[in-house]
Structure 1
Amino acid sequence: MNLIWQAYLQNCRAIIRDGRVVSYGNAPAELANTRAASTGSATVLSDLSHFGLIQFSGGDAQSFLQGQLSCDVRQVSSSAALYGSYCNPKGRMLASFLIWRDRDGDDGNFVMQLPSALLAAIQKRLSMYVLRAKVNLFDSSGMWVRMGLAGSGAGPLVQQVTGGIPDSHLGVIHGEHASVIRLAQDRFELIVAPEHASSIAERLSRDAMPVGAPCWDWLEIKAGIPLITPATQEQFVPQMANLDAIGGISFQKGCYPGQEIVSRTQYLGKIKRRMYLANIKPTGPEIPIEAGDELFSADMGEQSSGMVVNAAASPDGGYDVLAVVQISSVGAGKIYWKSLNGPALEIMPLPYKVSQ
């Protein structure tokens, strides 16, 4: 987290732990307002410094990334972002990310956003494959402040700050002091230079309630956007986490690590697990539900039938989760958290279609 920006957040009463804004002192109210924002009756503002940025530049940046990532990097431009994944040779995801080009995108500059906890290892691994390619990659997290804006007033506020607004899903525009990515109809990410961040945040917070990162986590879960973390690395092929449904896999591009497995899974119809949106209400003492928690079902006996990908406290009680689960188990009956005696998952509809 940029130190000047951190000082500003602390001055705004932000509670920061491990580079992540936990809350502004009233987490229940922040979550309630985030729920209202999801239905279009409020607007919230979240710091996104818990995500890191890897910058790629050089004449071979596009071709290098095209040979490493599951998405079609040729579709990433200064006006369009993409979701994607980076896999090991067995097709298991090491990271999921959002990638875009900066305002100098025509010169080959790409920006990959992923959890800060994964950044160093992913940067090091990608660096090993640069070889003679004209590519420079470095951690640019401190060069930019990221803010998430969601709710009924998000669009007009973006218009005021940047002078424009992206028309399409994952569209990007670059204003004088901020770039913006449209993540959904009423949800945006702003990328701002540190010297302008506090003034822009002051303007936004007049009409948007500042909320902690857990609230943004909840919005991402409700949107069905998976985030690979250290607890879930190398657990899923991209289709299991619905990357194909959100544009994070290209089946027409050339080779990349794990491509053969990913393609075979797709064309031979061997997708046995898919990601579902669900709510879990633990019973008894409050025990947090976390990424990496195993799930069980009667048809699988003592063998795990799934895993929690992401979890966040729900404004309706318990936790809302994204969970990769055996498709047959979902059809056969209840899925349970941690054991067959644990609380059952209440499956909810995702905001997009997924082929079974």
Structure 2
Amino acid sequence: MTTPWLQFLADSGVRIDADGITDFDGPAPAGLLPRGYVAPLTDLGLIALTGEDGPGFLHSQLTNDVEHLTPSEARLAGYCTPKGRLLASLLMWKTEQTIFLQLPRPLQASVQKRLQMFILRSKAKLNDVSDQHAMLGLGGESAAEVLRQWFPTLPAQAFAKQDTSFGSLIRLPDAFGSPRYQWIASAELAQQIWPELSRTLTPIGTRVWRLTDIHAGIPQITQPTQEQFVPQMINFELIGGVNFKKGCYPGQEIVARSQYLGKLKRRMLLATVEGAEVLPAMEIFSSADPGQPCGMIVNAERNLQNGVDCLVELKIAAAEEGTVHLGSAQGPVLSFGKLPYALPA
């Protein structure tokens, strides 16, 4: 996977693996994130949907409202199987002629192919535009003042979007008490602005940026966790990823039933594990019922101390009735933290 933007980053000293995960030479952040930081989000893919039937087509496929998506906002959305299980979690936004869908690069091709199967005679077209755009994540106390060089007016609330000749700027949910943004620029512009951004902000790698997503309570479906979760199991409706008033989409009946019939018994929590390797889809076990798993790791990244922070889907009762362990009932203990949003009582 080589593009002019990726080659530019590599020539600038950024290490990039086959999945687009970046890392930088020098000491990793220790204890606290820098006052301002920037990350090339080369691990993300981008699908562009165009055509007069595009909004209606996509509206019938995703968990969120696409037909009323405005150019001044971004929205989370899920793409489900007919059984209501998430194949992908997406961030979507629109410009005048195009709706963009952002998701992990390893999922992009298969999700685009599956969507393409259902276009049929609709006047809509899907294109992989991952290499035409550069996604940059910026955060910390000083990120806003740096961004004002290009965006005099910044989006003020989570998922608000501002467009200028320099691209699109989306405000993301805060993490570690500071604002975060995503800048979607042309690959050519990104090469021009990167030297200034990397001089005024501290470059961080993909895994540190993903750690900020975890602390913002924003889950991401990856290959190991495809078809594992109904949206509510990972709090997707709490962060604006599901619209229960829109029309049908694959799995809609099951998602709606999970919402309205009975109390939800599974949720996603923030947790920390010490002294262990933690990967998405690893099972977790409760000491109160050690014979069967009570949940699964959704996302996990090494934190800025010596442990691993993760988003964990599990039976609510398991977190209340005993200790929860990674891998087996004898595995490392998970300690639970507080998400930045409230869970229903």
Residue aligning to 1:347: 336
Higher strand share: 2
Given that 1:161 and 1:200 are in contact with CA atoms closer than 8 Å, whether structure 2 keeps it comes out as no
Residue aligning to 2:12: 12
Residue aligning to 2:82: 89
C-alpha distance in 1 between matches for 2:87 and 2:217: 19
C-alpha distance in 2 between matches for 1:326 and 1:75: 34
Q: Is the partner of 1:30 in helix, strand or coil?
A: coil
Read off the aligned partner of 1:216 and give its amino acid letter.
W
C-alpha distance in 1 between matches for 2:30 and 2:149: 26
Residue aligning to 1:337: 326
Read off the aligned partner of 1:190 and give its amino acid letter.
W
> How many residue pairs were aligned?
341
Is 1:175 equivalent to 2:164 in the alignment? Answer: yes
Read off the aligned partner of 1:9 and give its amino acid letter.
L
Read off the aligned partner of 2:209 and give its amino acid letter.
W
- Mean Cα deviation higher: 158-167 or 81-90: 158-167
Residue aligning to 2:209: 216
C-alpha distance in 2 between matches for 1:63 and 1:93: 20
Read off the aligned partner of 1:7 and give its amino acid letter.
Q
TM-score by length of 1: 0.93
Is 1:54 equivalent to 2:47 in the alignment? Answer: yes
Q: Is the partner of 2:297 in helix, strand or coil?
A: strand
- Mean Cα deviation higher: 151-160 or 17-26: 17-26
| Cα offsets for 1:164-201 (capped at 9, x unmatched) | 21122111111112211000351000011111112211
Deviating above 4 A after TM superposition, structure 1's stretches of 4 or more consecutive aligned residues are: none
Q: Is the partner of 2:30 in helix, strand or coil?
A: helix
1:150 paired residue among 124, 139, 142: 139
C-alpha distance in 1 between matches for 2:61 and 2:29: 37
- Mean Cα deviation higher: 160-169 or 342-351: 160-169
C-alpha distance in 2 between matches for 1:3 and 1:340: 46
Deviation of 1:76 (Å): 2.0
Unaligned runs of 5+ in 1: none
| CA RMSD after TM alignment | 1.4
> Which aligned pairs between 1:191-210 and structure 2 lie closer than 5 A?
191-210=184-203
Deviation of 1:2 (Å): 6.1
Residue aligning to 2:28: 30
> Which aligned pairs between 1:288-303 and structure 2 lie closer than 5 A?
288-303=277-292
| Cα offsets for 1:1-28 (capped at 9, x unmatched) | 66111122112211111142431113xx
Q: Is the partner of 1:206 in helix, strand or coil?
A: helix
Unaligned runs of 5+ in 2: none
Q: Is the partner of 1:31 in helix, strand or coil?
A: coil
Given that 2:19 and 2:106 are in contact with CA atoms closer than 8 Å, whether structure 1 keeps it comes out as no
* Alignment CA distance shift 1:352-1:291 (3 Å): same
Q: Is the partner of 1:303 in helix, strand or coil?
A: strand
Q: Is the partner of 1:301 in helix, strand or coil?
A: strand
Read off the aligned partner of 1:30 and give its amino acid letter.
A
Q: Is the partner of 1:126 in helix, strand or coil?
A: helix
Residue aligning to 2:130: 141
Residue aligning to 2:310: 321
1:276 paired residue among 249, 263, 269: 269
C-alpha distance in 1 between matches for 2:3 and 2:123: 32
C-alpha distance in 2 between matches for 1:50 and 1:67: 27
Identity within the alignment, %: 38
Given that 1:30 and 1:210 are in contact with CA atoms closer than 8 Å, whether structure 2 keeps it comes out as no
C-alpha distance in 1 between matches for 2:68 and 2:60: 14
Q: Is the partner of 1:184 in helix, strand or coil?
A: strand
Given that 1:14 and 1:21 are in contact with CA atoms closer than 8 Å, whether structure 2 keeps it comes out as no
Given that 2:22 and 2:42 are in contact with CA atoms closer than 8 Å, whether structure 1 keeps it comes out as no
